[in-house]
Amino acid sequence: MKLLALGDVVGQKTIDVIEKKLPDYRREHGISFVVCNGENAAEIRGMRAVDAERLLAAGVDIITLGNHAFGQKDLYPVLEREKRIIRPVNFPPQTPGMGYTVVAAESGERVLCINVCGRAFMDAYASPFETVEGVLKREAGKYDLSVLDVHAEATSEKLALGRWFDGRIDVIFGTHTHVTTADEQILPRGTGYQTDLGMCGPVGGILGTDAAAVIEKFRSLMPTRFTVAGGEVELHGTVFEIPDGKVRRITRVVF
Ligand SMILES: [Fe+2]
């Protein structure tokens, strides 16, 4: 099977591009499972129910989220009933939704997907190490392939999680920074790993946000209204080829 993981989706016009390009890309490249991070889909902060519907209809199998998971209130009831959207598993237990799910890929495999937040330079989430450990124990024997989206700021924390779960989770990638890292690799015990997938969004600004507003924020330290950047939308992601239950090849893609 081939799994495509797409970086953080920024804004409505990126969803338009995903609707236009993803179905053909999936077919042409024989992709049987697509994961994407949707936490900036609603013009930067969070994802609305309608954004989720559009991404799922465009051929995304699983949407992961992150620190902005609860940025749009109309998503809360959807998180309670929609198995194909997950928020970080290490949020407090009373928050809406699920942190992991098992769904079937087009090629038949049962795929366990887990979303977790890092803690370095982020909120005081529960330990990503212990929380994911608990999920693996609970779900043991119920899946054929496992995928972990580590939504985190620090590359070192993502790498530490990659190494800790090496050989126990098949695919581990990071999201949140919106900058693609060039370190895709198969770790010593077989996990396909990349520190950050990058972004699906307009490349004309700063991380998908209008550059002038970000510069103003850094210069003045005053509250600043962020809007989605202009410029071409690019979809940044990574294809993990898993022909025999093991990741054999990893390729960064832009389309
Ligand atoms: Fe984030």
DSSP SS3 for 2: strand
Contact of 37 with 7, CB cutoff 8 Å: yes
Catalytic sites, residue numbers: 68
Mean per-residue pLDDT, 41-56: 94
pLDDT at 43: 84
pLDDT at 44: 76
| Type of residue found at 151 | H
Strands (E), 136-244: 145-151, 171-175, 185-186, 192-194, 199-202, 233-241
Choose the CATH number for 2-254 among 3.30.465.10, 3.60.21.10, 3.30.360.10, 1.10.10.10: 3.60.21.10
User: For residue 179, how far is its CA from the centre of ligand 1 (angstroms)?
Assistant: 12
Is pLDDT above 80 for 154? Answer: yes
Mean per-residue pLDDT, 207-234: 94
* Angle at 126 (CA atoms; ends 166, 52), nearest 5 degrees: 80
Contact of 1 with 105, CB cutoff 8 Å: yes
Domain boundaries, the chain: 2-254
User: For residue 73, how far is its CA from the centre of ligand 1 (angstroms)?
Assistant: 17
Contact of 100 with 142, CB cutoff 8 Å: no
pLDDT at 23: 97
User: For residue 25, how far is its CA from the centre of ligand 1 (angstroms)?
Assistant: 26
Q: What is the pLDDT of residues 242-253, one digit of tens each?
A: 999 999 999 999
- Could you write out the DSSP letters of every residue in 159-184? HHHHHHTBTTBSEEEEESS-S--S--
User: For residue 253, how far is its CA from the centre of ligand 1 (angstroms)?
Assistant: 21
